[in-house]
Amino acid sequence: MSHGFETRTLHVTTGRAESVFDLTAECEAFLAEVASGRDGLLNLFAPHATMGVALIETGAGSDDDLLAALHTLLPADDRWQHRHGSPGHGRDHVLPAIVPPHATLPVIGGELALGTWQSVCLVDTNKDNPQRQVRLSFLG
């Protein structure tokens, strides 16, 4: 079995509101093109200082619950040393310490090996920058 490395950069518009943006379909499409039924690893990396990658259930309220929890942990107020941008923007720069900007996921037979309710999501609280990139890399 040959091993290879494939990578691609996705361009994502997350919008001007805080969001949990589901990337599962984009990850699956990427793997359909490059994994050829192989086992391996999919790595996602968001090269931004103000967003993260999370595995979370979407569509049942968990995405809103996550944003609410982040508001409790990281209030959008004037307590932050980092003060450029929208009010409270300093908390966006702390977010990646809680929701890391990367994830490495198992791929079995060319498909993501996620749990029943897991989706691959970007967590973006930065309302100042809706244009984002995510690097997908498959090693298998």
Chain segment 54-98, per-residue pLDDT in tens: 999 999 999 999 999 999 999 999 899 988 888 889 999 999 999
Mean pLDDT of 122-126: 95
pLDDT at 132: 96
pLDDT band at 3 (very low <50, low <70, confident <90, very high): low
Residues 6+ apart with CB under 8 A from 103: 43, 44, 53, 54, 55, 120
pLDDT tens digits for 42-57?
A: 999 999 999 999 999 9
DSSP state of 87: T
Instruction: Tell me what pLDDT residue 23 has.
Output: 97
Quote the pLDDT of residue 83.
81
Amino acid of residue 14: T
Q: Which CATH architecture has domain 5-139?
A: Sandwich (2.60)
pTM value? Answer: 0.93
Q: Which of 45, 30, 32 has the alpha carbon at shortest distance from 132?
A: 45
How many residues belong to the chain? 140
pLDDT-derived band at 1, boundaries 50, 70, 90? very low
